[in-house]
Amino acid sequence: MSALQRADDSFNRWRHSDFDARADLMHKLSGLLKKQKQSLAELITLEMGKPIKEAIKEIEKCAWVCDYYAEHAEDFLKDRIISTDAHVSFIRHEPIGAVLAVMPWNYPFWQVFRFAAPALMAGNVGLLKHASNVTGCGLKIAELIQQAGFDKGCFQTLIIDHEQTAELIQQPKLKAVTVTGSEAAGRKIAAQAGQSLKKTVLELGGSNAFVVLADANLDSILDTAVTARFQNTGQSCIAAKRFIVEASVYDEFLRRFQDKVKELTYGDPMDKNTTLGPMARADLAEELADQLQRSVQQGAKILTGGEQSKTRFEPTIVTDVTVNMPLMQEETFGPVAPIFKANDDEHALNVAAANHFGLGVTICTRNPEAILKQLHRFPDGAVFINELVKSDPRLPFGGTGLSGYGRELSRAGIKEFINQKTVFVKTSQKLRNDNFMV
C-alpha cells in the first residue's frame, strides 16, 4: 500500500473521531516528548549541530504546542452561527485530508510539530518530507506520533527526493502543501501545487530588522539583541539579520554588543556550556562567507570575527554597511551581524521597512505608544517591541512579501487546512445540533 493511500484510508477514519479522543492522544504525545526530551535533543544536536541547551528547549516547545491545540482546537473549530434571513445559518469547519509538509533542518522538531499538532487536531493527516540532513529526526517524529496511539497513516515520514515530491503533489488524494524553507524552495513547490490547484502555506526566508532607537534601554535589550542574532548559530528565519541603530546611541550599542558577543562560547554542541555551535553544513558556511566577502568588497568593515573553516564560523560583527549590500538585502543564515547607523528615528524606521522580506521586525524604545501608532509602516507579519521576534502557539505566525503567505499557530493556523463550509437552512421544523438548538 502506498503512503498516500494509507494516509487517505486513515483520514476517512480519523476525520470522524471526536475532539476528546484527539486531545487524549495529543496530550500523550506531549508526555512522550517531555519524557524523552534529553534523547530527542541529542538527536537534534547530532544531526544538525544545535547546542544541546537550545535543542532541549525546542523539544519542550513541541510539547507545549501539542498541549495547546489539545486544549483549544475544539473551541477554534466549533460551528459559528451567523445571523441571516435563514432559519439558521452557520459555518462548519471540516478537515480536507492529506497535507504534505516540506520541512527544513534548522528546527527539525519544532517546524514539524507546529504543523502536525493543529493539522491532526483538525482531523487532517500528514505526510512529511524532511530535510535530508535530519532524516533521523523525521523518522523519530513519525515513531513518536504512532507511539502516542495515532494510526500509522495519520502521520508518515517519507524518504523521497525532489522529483518524487513533485510527483506526490500532483496526486489527487493529496489536498494541500505546507512549506517552511528558502524563498527558492517556496517558489518551486508553490508552482507545482498551483498546477493542481492545491492550497499552500509558505513560511520562507526573512531579513528581520532589529531597530535600536535613541531612547532604548540598552541595559535591558543587549542580551535580547545577541540572542536574536546568534541563537541556533544564527540559522533561523526569524533571527535578527539587520541591526539598525540610531546615531546618538550607535557607538555605545556597538561597544556593548561587541562585549556581549565575546562572551559566546564556541565548542562541542553536546556540552551544556556551549552557546555557539557549528553551522549545519559546510556549504551553508561557505555561502555566508561569500555574502560577507561581497559586502566587504562594497565597503563594509569586519569589526570582529569573519573567519570560517568548514562548519565553524566565528561570530562576526560588521560595520560601515549600506542598505544595498548583500548583508542588508539578502537572507543571511549564520552568525554574522551587520550594524547600520541611522541618522535619526525616521531614517531607522524607513530602513527597517525597506526590504523584500516581511517576516518580522523588532523595535527597541521606551516609547512603545509611538510605535503602535505607526504599525502600518511595517508590512511584516509581526512587530515585536523590546523583544526578539519569536513564534508562540498562542499567536499567528507567518510573513509577507518574499517571506511567504498564510499563517501557522493560534486560531489562524488551524484553519489554514480546513473547509469552512457555509450552511444555510430555511425550515419550519425545530433543528437540533451539538452546538445549537433553534
Mean pLDDT by 10 residues, the chain (438 residues): 94 98 98 98 98 98 98 98 95 98 98 98 98 98 98 98 97 98 96 97 97 98 98 98 98 98 96 97 97 98 96 98 97 98 98 96 98 97 98 98 98 98 90 55
The predicted structure's pLDDT at residue 438: 42
Backbone angles phi, psi at 77, to 5 degrees: -110, 10
**Taking the model in full, what pTM does it have?**
0.96
Q: Tell me how crowded residue 180 is: count the other CB atoms within 10 A of its CB.
A: 25
In this structure, the strands spanning 336-342 and 316-319 are parallel
Is 203 a known active-site residue?
Answer: yes
For residue 428, what pLDDT is reported?
80
Q: Which of 58, 203, 331, 416 is catalytic?
A: 203
Candidates 195, 164, 191; CA nearest to 179 is 191
pLDDT of residue 195: 97
* Distance between CA atoms of residues 332 and 61, nearest Å: 25
Domain residue extents for the chain? 3-204+403-425, 208-385
Residue 355 to residue 234: CA distance in whole angstroms: 19
CATH class of 3-204+403-425: alpha beta
CATH topology of domain 208-385: Aldehyde Dehydrogenase; Chain A, domain 2 (3.40.309)
Of 137, 154, 237, 364, catalytic: 237
66 in active site: no
Q: What's the CA angle centered on 66, arms 64 and 72, to 5 degrees?
A: 100
Q: So what's the pLDDT on residue 124?
A: 98
